[in-house]
Amino acid sequence: AAAAAAEQGERPALSARLRAQRLDPATLGMPASFAAGDRILVPRSAFEKLRKRGVPPRGFRLASKVDPSRQFFTEAAPMHCAEGEVCAPAFVLEALGVKEGEELLLENAHLPKAESVRLQAHSSKLAEHPEMESMLTGTLEGFAALTNGTTIELRDGPNVYRVDVIAVRSRPDRRADSSRGQAVWIDNIDLVTDWAAPKDAKRAARRKRGSADSEGESE
């Protein structure tokens, strides 16, 4: 029965359409570093509805109303936003292709714990950075989950390095995975990370092959 439920997925106890708002830590008296993480704020009524149904108000799924395939999984902070709204960091709204004031779908979600994730830097300069691993660790400390297909930012002073999440792998879990293999829980997890070749290195390699092919044809 448990296996069947895992395959079919569990019907969310909460499903609501809310207006998207950019999370501004300054107006909430929170440190600016909070916006660099992935946690969101949901209305108090969302917490209360889940508690009444005996569901821990922890994991959530956000999805675009226009394109539901664009989704993001995360945790809600213990603070609340206004009724009818969901507050999310700017990069989360960007990942969903949603602007402030537009409608989002909010659902509760269960995610399995992470086994490993595969990442890809946009620039090869990150791979040359001596503090790359510590920058990644520091950034991920502010994250509850990682969603496949999203982009995170590693910062070193004024320098920003964009990194794509290109694959996630979870540990065995008896409960249904609400993301269907697209997201994993990383909070307090010993996470294994694997790096693909940077995007600019792959583009350079393709240009080099194309140039070699052109030279071969002209001979």
Instruction: Read off the pLDDT band of 206 (50, 70, 90).
Output: low
Percentage of the residues of the chain whose pLDDT score is greater than 90: 72
Cα distances (angstroms) measured from residue 84 to each of 23, 65, 138, 183, 202: 15, 15, 33, 26, 44
CA atoms within 13 A on the CB side of 70: 13
Instruction: Read off the pLDDT band of 4 (50, 70, 90).
Output: very low
- pLDDT computed for residue 204 by the predictor: 65
Alpha-carbon gap, residue 38 to 42, rounded angstroms: 13
Helix (H) or strand (E) holding 107, with range, is strand 103-108
Alpha-carbon gap, residue 49 to 55, rounded angstroms: 9
Q: Which residue has the higher pLDDT, 219 or 126?
A: 126
Which range (4-8, 96-100, 173-177) has the least confidence?
A: 4-8
Instruction: Read off the pLDDT band of 201 (50, 70, 90).
Output: confident
Percentage of the residues of the chain whose pLDDT score is greater than 70: 83
> Per-residue pLDDT for 205 more than 50?
yes
Over residues 63-91, the pLDDT tens digits come to: 998 899 999 999 998 889 999 999 999 99
Are residues 168 and 150 in contact, defined by beta-carbon separation less than 8 angstroms?
no
- pLDDT computed for residue 79 by the predictor: 87
Per-position b or e across 192-202, b if 16+ CB within 10 A of its CB: eeebeebbeee
Alpha-carbon gap, residue 87 to 106, rounded angstroms: 11
Alpha-carbon gap, residue 87 to 152, rounded angstroms: 18
Q: What is the β-pairing status of strands 145-147 and 59-64?
A: unpaired
Q: Which residue has the higher pLDDT, 2 or 199?
A: 199
Residue with tokens 């821990």: 56
User: What is the pTM assigned to this prediction?
Assistant: 0.85
- pLDDT computed for residue 13 by the predictor: 94
Alpha-carbon gap, residue 105 to 79, rounded angstroms: 19
> Per-residue pLDDT for 7 more than 90?
no
Are residues 142 and 34 in contact, defined by beta-carbon separation less than 8 angstroms?
yes
Q: Which residue has the higher pLDDT, 206 or 214?
A: 206
Which range (2-16, 90-104, 125-139) has the least confidence?
A: 2-16
- pLDDT computed for residue 211 by the predictor: 53
Q: Which residue has the higher pLDDT, 36 or 198?
A: 198
What residues pair up with 117 in beta bridges, in sequence order?
168, 193
- pLDDT computed for residue 208 by the predictor: 61
